[in-house]
Structure 1
């Protein structure tokens, strides 16, 4: 019996090595073997992925990922479990399906987020009423301050002045203004029932 006829896709002087032999060489890190594998199965991988994904750009990306996986995991190919092409196509199909699932999950998340945003409509009337009530409450609490405290707080918080500016405007020492502000803010906090 002729030995060349029974050898499983070994490299022979007469012809190029088969895909199985190329994968063995890729497993050993031979770049030229990987280039040949890429040329042999790249278009088929892309075709399979494209049928699953339909999007050309995503198909190219996933096909590249599959071929990188072939480069990295060629040592895991087991000829007893199937042909080299079947192994690569299984990797390609799994990766394409994973991408579809990932995209679907992202779409579902976005839909849920959009639905959640629309579930609580903005009520402009309620918002304005709440703002008006809060302003009225603050106004009443400001009236409970001493005149000098109220004057200092209004200049600082409503006028936008710094403590130093308030001291200059009221012709009062800075330390006194700070004391008035501190005491006024404590009284406001107590009146509003706010914890600082």
Structure 2
């Protein structure tokens, strides 16, 4: 299943293992304080998570520092991950988002500005209003809904979504912009 480098190898016993299963296994090993598992987890998730941090923070050094902070928190809290409550990827990206938003909030307090990056400003609702958001998301056309979920929940870039869905990049960007506008209008009802 795993070699000494922390990389996942498929064998007879792991032939049915998905990428999410592999990430969950690495998190379990992190909970047992296996540093090789943390390295493998970092190698697997850092590019995606850095993309999310860059979109939120719009500053590469801050994004890289926030990524490191997030992985430190993932290491410390790996024993709290529960596959019954969500996917490992979403859990790790959630930790990163909270770290990035905390950083934005601290910067706002220290600089006295109310400006937020475009992506953060476009987020249409507080997390506490998740039922309304869920209802509004379900009203979106399937293509729009999938694009928004891949971008904002799974952390894929617009280019990655275009590749994944075999859809032109301009179309993906248009769907996401239209989705955010539709969600905002729906939530204002």
TM-score when scaled to structure 1?
Answer: 0.48
Q: TM-score, normalised by structure 2?
A: 0.49
- Rg (Cα) greater in structure: 1
